[in-house]
Amino acid sequence: MLLAYLEEILAQVAQTFRETFLWTQDLNIECAKVSNLKIIHMQEIAQSKEEEEEEEEEEEEEEEEEGGGGGGGGGGGGRRRGKKKKKKRRRKKKRRRKKKKRRRRKKKRKEK
């Protein structure tokens, strides 16, 4: 009688272990799916940022080309920028972007 009871309990425990194992496998699969989605999402974000930057650069180049050749003062807004100023401006933008990224990363670390 006692032996049959113990065998029954042992069978239940074995079944529970099997169910737990299957559940953990399913959970691991779901985690992998989620991480893949995160990676895809991050890639899409990066790609859209690159496209935005390219569009901005194209717009700036178009504006500079349209600006006319106002070489001697007075003309104001229509003047072209020199190469040095252009480079300096790009560097500033790059620094600002880097600072923003650092701030975002810091915030994310603090939130975690």
What predicted TM-score, i.e. pTM, was given to this entire model? 0.41
Mean pLDDT, the chain, rounded, equals: 83
| Angle ∠(106,109,110) on CA atoms, nearest 5 | 85
pLDDT tens across 28-76, in order? Answer: 999 999 999 999 999 999 988 888 888 888 777 777 666 555 555 555 5
Return the half-sphere exposure (C-beta side, CA atoms, 13 A cut-off) of residue 24. Answer: 5
Phi, psi values for residue 80, rounded to 5°:
-85, 150
pLDDT of res. 25: 97
| Domain residue extents for the chain | 1-55, 83-112
Euclidean distance between CA atoms 9 and 2, whole angstroms: 11
